[in-house]
Amino acid sequence: MTAVMGLLAGLLFGLGLAVSGMTDPLKVQNFLDVAGTWDPSLAFVMGGAVLVTFVGFRLAWRAGKPWFDTGFHLPSATAIDLKLLTGAALFGIGWGLAGYCPGPALSTLALGNHEVWWFVPAMVAGGLLQRWQAKRSA
Amino acid sequence: MNIINFTPTEAAVGGALIGLAAVVLMAALGRIAGISNITYTLVDDWRAGRLGGWRLTFVVGMMLGAAAYYLATGASPVPERELHPGWLIAAGLLVGYGTALGSGCTSGHGVCGLSRLSLRSLAAVCKFMATAALTVFVVRHVLN
């Protein structure tokens, strides 16, 4: 049942990314281009998503535990440290360079957009490299 | 400043669907819909010889959900540009390394973190929005 719930959530997520325009890297870059051809749409994507999630999370938490697990797996870190800010800064540079964040890039992998065939393997390699470094220094 | 291609209705509806996905994952499995973490954990699991479980079906679902939209509307999923492979690889490495180091991306910190009222996620969102906007500014208005 966890696999079915994963599939359902994934379907909604991928559909939402495409409907909202997040899967179009030029639209994303136009959102980030406040000084040029600005497209404010993506602020509405974030607004709509946070509105639904804010309410939905609280309803889910009120149940005490998830339907198919014994407890909620919530992040415990609260520190705003150099690691967080450096990581976010690097992510932002890469996002601005091409207009892809992880979700939209993965979602369009099988749709004939050649750009993500270069982008996604590099993204996974970058992510695994950092995890490998972190494990080695731990 | 020139406002172009503004589509607030589609954006808000799509955003609500993304939010619904995050709520399903939380209510059913108690998990955060953070795409970067889901992806790297999925690949780590494969390397350790474990099959992906809900993370695998989630990523497959994402691809099917996006495909359904493009099939239904007939819109083209291919952007009207062709970036150099080296440019895309550099961008991918930065996104991958950065999201792993910073423990999240637009979904984990953005959608889920802000909804949890996490100050840590708010700081991350402000940081990556700022460097992303600065990068686009430099590429489009300084280098060009």
Q: How many residues does chain B have?
A: 144
Pick the residue of B88, B105, B109, B115 with the most A CBs within 10 A to test the interface with A by mutation: B88
Which residues are paired to B3 by β-bridges? A38
Q: Which amino acid is at B64?
A: L
Q: What is the ipTM of this complex?
A: 0.97
Distance between CA atoms of residues B142 and A26, nearest Å: 18
pLDDT score of B82 = 86
Which residues are paired to B2 by β-bridges? A37
> CB neighbours of A70 closer than 8 A, spacing ≥ 6?
none
Chain B residue with the nearest C-alpha to that of A41: B8
Domain edges within chain A: 2-137
| Chain B residues with beta carbon closer than 8 angstroms to that of A30 | 4-5
CB contact under 8 A, B133 and A32: yes
Asked if A13 and A106 count as a contact pair (C-beta separation under 8 A), the reply is: no
pLDDT tens-digit series, residues A92-117 = 999 999 999 999 999 999 998 999 99
What is the pLDDT of chain B when averaged over all its residues? 95
pLDDT score of B5 = 84
Instruction: Map tokens 């999240």 to a residue.
Output: B104
Whole-prediction pTM value?
A: 0.96
Q: What is the pLDDT along chain B (144 residues), one digit of tens a residue?
A: 678 888 999 999 999 999 999 999 999 999 999 999 999 999 999 999 988 799 999 999 999 999 999 999 999 999 989 899 999 999 999 999 999 999 999 999 999 999 999 999 999 999 999 999 999 999 999 987
Which residues are paired to A37 by β-bridges? B2
Choose among B94, B124, B127: nearest Cβ to A126. Answer: B94
Choose among A53, A73, A85: nearest Cβ to B123. Answer: A85
